Structure 1
Amino acid sequence: MTDIRDAHTEVLSLAGRRVAITGGTTGIGRAIAVLLASEGAQVFVCGHDSDHLADALARIREVGEGDGAVLDLAEPDHARGFLEIARERLGGLDAVVLNAAVAASGISETSEAELRHAIALNFTAYLLGSHAAAELLEGEGDLVLVGSMSAHVLGPGSTIYAGIKAGIAGFSEALRRELGPKGIRVGLVEPGKTGSDMQLPDVPVEKQREQIREETMLRAEDIAVGVHYMLTQPRRTVVQQVVITPRAQAAE
């Protein structure tokens, strides 16, 4: 009989892993939370809307264990505050997923207040969250940043979002080199066009469903699988970057 025991690398279990997820009440973050909870992780999520939080927790608790909080990560102290609350509620942290983001238009079409908010939520909160995670993960764990293919697919309406996400891409690579020797794995997931509330109102829900059927748009669950892959690989490895795009999406 053929011995195939070493044909596949060992895969780490998610059972009992304590995971904090920003923007975990809708879209990609919600899908990540549901998938990880379904495999035994204890998840703690945040969002800025109490109705979205209640809906997400109802789904998470159908498949596993989860809790969460309502807060605005654009506020200076809330990125660290969220992770400290998550650590207290979960009894520690094994992984942090930084995902919360807001859509942005071109810089000439955006007010200064909107620009400041986009930078605070999409960039500053990622750096502040990473700063806190480097401490609160206590020398072993995973930090996953959810970026965007917008960092590479540039257009006149993507100046703010592309600039921010390009910064996240460079930051994540440098952070991997900084924290890897200290025991913390850092990875970046870059989704292409994905169905979520961020597509609204430009792409209504029914249009999103149509594009998903046409395979020109991804489901949020497709991105969650990428995060799942990162978190379940053996500790000696780092999946530095995963790019997930719709197969039939034309260049934009």
Structure 2
Amino acid sequence: MALALVTGAARGIGRATAARLVSAGYEVIVADLDGAAAETTASEIGAKAAQVDVADEASVAAVAAGISDLAVLVNNAGMYLPGKLADVTTEHFHKVFDVNVLGPLLMTRHLADALAANGGGAVVNVASMSAFMPVPGTGVYSMAKAAVASYTEAAALEYAPRGIRVNAVAPGRISTEMTADRQGDPAREARTNALIPLGRSGLAEDVAEAICALATGAAYVTGQVLRVDGGLTINTVPLLQAAQSGGI
């Protein structure tokens, strides 16, 4: 049975992805900073659990040391700290960049041999639509996710000779535990969903499907960032047209 490892998999998009990979027949490692939550999720979906701090190289190395053959790596673990750029501290910057950018770099580097063991594997990083559409008030999160998109392209080139494909997904407005406090007003949600071409916010399972498609199929695809946003990031001109006509 092929092995897959998903970081930040105790909840949200990571959990949905781990569950989807289990249903596709993979043996899955649910890796998370919260070891207890990882154990709970793993027990519920029929997977294994591992505690890992993706921003700490010793922690990453310890997890990687026990893996010799890996088919899929999903770098989903993320850190979001809102705030104005003018107020961002050095500590704030490093917290966000260390998890969102250094994490995928360390995980991929330490697991590259395992991914290449049987002729190659697949890495899928989780970026964000904010990599392409910076959102005011999100601190350096947009910058970090843009770096993930750039890293994905660079890693795809460097790891291709070893048979390792590297792609990313860029989720748009997705309903998860992390966003629940910002999506609790039904009237506001209705207004927001009206701006999305597909008419609704996404679910963690929607992103999981895209991740699994890139990880388990798409054998000739690498270095791509797939937007999973219901069409939101291509809707600028229609929104401007509606605004000009008084429609919004």
Q: Same fold (TM over 0.5)?
A: yes
- 1:67 paired to 2:48: yes
| 2:3 corresponds to which of 18, 25, 33 | 18
What secondary structure is seen at the aligned counterpart in 1 of 2:175?
A: coil
CA gap 1:207/1:224 in 2 versus in 1, 3 angstroms: farther
- How far residue 237 of structure 1 moved from its aligned partner, in angstroms, is 4.2
Equivalent AA in structure 2 for residue 17 of structure 1? A
Tell me the TM-score normalised to structure 2 length.
Answer: 0.80
Give the corresponding residue for 2:155: 175
Matched, 1:155 2:135: yes
Aligned 1:1-252 pairs, distance under 5 A: 16-61=1-46, 66-85=47-66, 87=67, 92-105=69-82, 106-138=84-116, 139-204=119-184, 215-233=199-217, 235-238=219-222, 240-247=224-231
Q: Distance in 2 between matches of 1:52 and 1:111?
A: 30
Deviation at 1:181, TM superposition (A): 2.4
Distance in 2 of aligned mates of 1:207 and 1:233: 39
**What is the Cα deviation at residue 206 of structure 1?**
7.7
SS in 2 for 1:93: coil
Q: CA RMSD in A?
A: 2.9
Gap change, CA 1:240 and 1:163, over 3 Å in 2: same
Gapped runs of 5+ residues in structure 1? Answer: 1-15
> CA contact under 8 A between 1:102 and 1:198: conserved in structure 2?
no
SS of equivalent residue, structure 2 residue 147: helix
Equivalent-residue separation in structure 2 for 1:196 and 1:140 (angstroms): 32
User: What TM-score, normalized to structure 1?
Assistant: 0.79
What are the ranges of 5 or more consecutive residues in structure 2 without an aligned counterpart? 240-248
Aligned-residue identity in percent = 26
Q: How many residues in Structure 1 have an aligned counterpart in Structure 2?
A: 229
How far apart are residue 208 of structure 1 and its match? 10
The C-alpha deviation readout for 1:34-69, integer Å capped at 9, x for no partner, is 0110121000011122442233123312xxxx1112
C-alpha change, 1:115 and 1:197, in structure 2 (3 Å) is farther
Partners in 1 of 2:115 and 2:174 — Cα distance?
29
Indicate the SS of the match to 1:157. Answer: coil
State how far apart, in whole Å, the 2-side matches of 1:71 and 1:205 are: 35
